[in-house]
Amino acid sequence: MLVEGKSYRTIEASSDLTRVTIIDQTALPFKFELIDLKSLEDVIQAIKIMQVRGAPLIGVTSAFGIALAMNNDSSDQSLLDAAFSLKESRPTAVNLAWAVNKMLEHLKPYDTNDRAKIAWLYANELAEDDIKTNIDIGRAGLPLLKQIKSSPLNILTHCNAGWLATIDNGTALSPIYQAFEEGIDIHVWVDETRPRNQGMSLTAWELTQAKIPHTIISDNTGGLLMQQNKVDCVIVGADRISIDGQVCNKIGTYLKALAAKAHNIPFYVAAPLSTIDNSFIGEKKSFEIECRHPDELLRIKGMNNDGTVSEVKIGMSTAYNPAFDLTPAEYITKIICEKGSYNPESIGTLL
Ligand code: MRU
> Is 325 in the active site?
no
Residues 189 and 326 in one domain: yes
Overall number of domains in the chain: 2
Residues 272 and 309 in one domain: yes
Residues 146 and 103 in one domain: no
Rounded to the nearest whole angstrom, what is the distance from the C-alpha of residue 48 to the centroid of ligand 1? 13
Q: Is the Cβ–Cβ distance between 191 and 252 less than 8 Å?
A: yes
Nearest-atom number in ligand 1 for the CA of 58 is 4
Q: Which of 250, 267, 336 to mutate to test the pocket of ligand 1 (most atoms within 8 A of CB)?
A: 250
Alpha-carbon gap, residue 167 to 150, rounded angstroms: 31
Distances (CA, A) of 329 to 168, 211, 248: 27, 33, 11
Range of the domain at 251: 138-350
Rounded to the nearest whole angstrom, what is the distance from the C-alpha of residue 122 to the centroid of ligand 1? 24
Q: Give the chain's length.
A: 351
What letter represents residue 299's amino acid?
A: R
Tell whether omega for the bond before 152 is within 30 degrees of 0, i.e. cis: yes
Residues 209 and 346 in one domain: yes
Alpha-carbon gap, residue 199 to 243, rounded angstroms: 27
pLDDT along the chain (351 residues), means of 10: 95 98 98 98 98 98 98 98 98 98 98 98 98 98 97 98 98 98 98 98 98 98 98 98 98 98 98 97 94 98 97 98 98 98 96 88
Q: Which of 131, 159, 182 is the last residue of a domain?
A: 131
Query: Which protein residue has the closest C-alpha to ligand 1 atom 15?
Result: 161
Tens of pLDDT along 178-191?
Answer: 999 999 999 999 99
Rounded to the nearest whole angstrom, what is the distance from the C-alpha of residue 257 to the centroid of ligand 1? 16
Residues 62 and 127 in one domain: yes
> Residue 281: beta bridge partners?
284
Alpha-carbon gap, residue 327 to 306, rounded angstroms: 42
> Residue 250: beta bridge partners?
324
Residues 120 and 234 in one domain: no
Residues 85 and 161 in one domain: no
Dihedral over Cα of 90, 30, 174, 19: its sign:
negative
Residues 182 and 301 in one domain: yes
Residues 264 and 300 in one domain: yes
User: Could you tell me if the CB of 323 is within 6 A of ligand 1?
Assistant: yes
Rounded to the nearest whole angstrom, what is the distance from the C-alpha of residue 315 to the centroid of ligand 1? 25
Residues 127 and 157 in one domain: no
Q: Is the Cβ–Cβ distance between 281 and 244 less than 8 Å?
A: yes
Q: Which of 191, 219, 232, 239 is catalytic?
A: 239
Q: Is the Cβ–Cβ distance between 95 and 126 less than 8 Å?
A: no
Residues 178 and 95 in one domain: no
